[in-house]
């Protein structure tokens, strides 16, 4: 199988290069980057010196015919167009942008600033949260890889939502993300002097991942549940922590039994006996989850941690590829290299 990584010079593209190098069954034959077009991989990123792909040259544009699987690490609007072209060429597409994550096309102008012109492809696209939608993923041609905040949050909520044990029509989500979640582009807020020893909330009332979470939770639960989502930036390079507060009548023991029943056989879900920590998931495809119950208020607290660049993006994309190709899901994902 020939593989293309479009936007291979960004953080998620670099992660994909590192992970996919371990595969003997595939060959990366295309990498694209406008910034590094014409340069070899090892020229742009010297830490790839000795990689079997070190001499691969970055192209500016994607060849839509010469690869079998396309990982798109691009902004939303370029992905929107490219997915259509690749689908028409009968390719397997794993899109790491948000261009096909939300089925309701009316959401895109409000939250992403563009009109979605391909509603029929929205119907075809499969949401790539592997532990929940793997049966749909197996035969999919378009995988809409989830956002990092939704991955951590929805995996934390799934057992409660699926069993109809969320009592209120609103859940509270507070989440913390490393700075790499903003990508590699320059912005003052993410420069070292600004971010060092600093932490802050952003997009408090209108974050792009809110409708994504609400739509998927509705698909799981069958209920319209609003998400009161507050994201924060913290001064670490990578990693993500999501804390969900939700009303339920389950006791603490019932909660923990429920999560054990749902996740005992999921390799990449680790249920923990204490609140989870970002440091313990860095460079992995694991989602660590801790559940507890505040009996005084009747609220359950679900605490989940992922690496935003791995389970929140690239390694989950590879997990989805493994499902499509019929490999063991954990194949080449048990001991991942980490970006330096």
Q: Is the pLDDT assigned to residue 339 strictly greater than 70?
A: no
Residue 172, sorted as left (phi over 0), alpha (psi -120 to 50) or beta, turns out to be: beta
pLDDT score at 340: 42
Does residue 45 or residue 191 have the better pLDDT?
A: 45
Mean pLDDT of all residues in the chain? Answer: 94
Mean pLDDT of the region 282-300: 96
Confidence of residue 192 (pLDDT cuts 50, 70, 90): confident
Confidence of residue 185 (pLDDT cuts 50, 70, 90): low
Residues facing 232 on adjacent strands: 176, 201
pLDDT digits (tens, 9 = 90+) for 307-335: 999 999 999 999 999 999 999 999 999 97
* Identified catalytic residue from 4, 73, 148, 287: 148
| Exposure class string for 296-329: b at 16+ Cβ within 10 A, else e | eeebbbbbbbbbbbbbbbbbbbbbbbbbbbebeb
pLDDT digits (tens, 9 = 90+) for 38-55: 999 999 999 999 999 999
Q: Is the pLDDT assigned to residue 188 strictly greater than 80?
A: no
Q: Is the pLDDT assigned to residue 338 strictly greater than 90?
A: no
CATH number of 149-306: 3.30.360.10
What is the distance between the alpha carbons of residues 170 and 238, in angstroms, rounded to a whole number?
A: 29
Does residue 11 or residue 184 have the better pLDDT?
A: 11
Ranges of each domain in the chain: 2-145+313-325, 149-306
Does residue 311 or residue 180 have the better pLDDT?
A: 311
Confidence of residue 270 (pLDDT cuts 50, 70, 90): very high
Residues facing 305 on adjacent strands: 241, 288
Residues facing 32 on adjacent strands: 6, 59
Token duo for residue 115: 């009109």
Mean pLDDT of the region 51-78: 97
Does residue 339 or residue 143 have the better pLDDT?
A: 143
pLDDT score at 194: 76
What is the distance between the alpha carbons of residues 59 and 31, in angstroms, rounded to a whole number?
A: 6
pLDDT score at 38: 97
**CB-CB contact of 258 with 163 (8 Å):** yes
pLDDT score at 186: 61
Q: Is the pLDDT assigned to residue 337 strictly greater than 60?
A: no
**CB-CB contact of 324 with 137 (8 Å):** yes
pLDDT digits (tens, 9 = 90+) for 116-154: 999 999 999 999 999 999 999 999 999 999 999 999 999
What is the distance between the alpha carbons of residues 291 and 298, in angstroms, rounded to a whole number?
A: 13
Q: Is 73 a catalytic residue?
A: no
Residue identified by tokens 């799934």 is 158
CATH number of 2-145+313-325: 3.40.50.720
């Amino acid at each position: 199988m020939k593989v293309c990584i479009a936007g291979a010079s960004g953080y998620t593209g670099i992660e994909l290069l590192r992970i996919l190098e371990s595969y003997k069954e595939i060959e990366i034959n295309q990498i694209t980057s406008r910034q590094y077009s014409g340069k070899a991989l090892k020229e742009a990123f010297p830490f790839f010196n000795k990689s079997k792909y070190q001499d691969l040259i970055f192209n500016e544009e994607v060849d839509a015919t010469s690869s079998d699987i396309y990982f798109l690490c691009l902004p939303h609007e370029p992905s929107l167009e490219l997915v259509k072209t690749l689908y028409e060429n009968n390719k397997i597409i794993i899109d790491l942008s948000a261009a096909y994550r939300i089925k309701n096309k009316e959401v895109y102008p409000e939250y992403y600033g563009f009109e979605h012109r391909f509603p029929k492809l929205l119907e075809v696209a499969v949401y790539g949260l592997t532990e929940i939608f793997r049966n749909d993923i197996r035969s999919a041609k378009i995988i809409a890889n989830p956002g990092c905040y939704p991955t951590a949050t929805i995996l934390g909520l799934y057992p409660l939502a699926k069993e109809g044990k969320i009592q209120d029509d609103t859940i509270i989500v507070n989440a913390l993300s490393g700075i790499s979640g903003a990508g590699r582009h320059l912005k003052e807020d993410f420069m070292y002097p600004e971010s060092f020893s600093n932490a802050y909330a952003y997009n408090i009332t209108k974050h792009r991942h809110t409708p994504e979470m609400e739509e998927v939770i509705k698909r799981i639960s069958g209920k319209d549940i609003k998400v009161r989502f507050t994201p924060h930036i913290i001064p670490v390079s990578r990693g993500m922590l999501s804390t969900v507060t939700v009303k339920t009548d389950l006791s603490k023991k019932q909660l923990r039994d429920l999560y054990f029943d749902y996740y005992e056989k999921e390799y990449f879900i680790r249920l923990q006996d204490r609140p989870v920590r970002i440091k313990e998931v860095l460079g992995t495809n694991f989602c660590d989850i801790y559940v507890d119950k505040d009996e005084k208020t009747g609220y359950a607290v679900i605490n989940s941690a992922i690496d935003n660049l791995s389970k929140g993006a690239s390694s989950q994309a590879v997990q989805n590829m493994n499902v499509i190709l019929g490999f063991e899901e954990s194949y080449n994902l048990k001991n991942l290299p980490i970006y330096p």
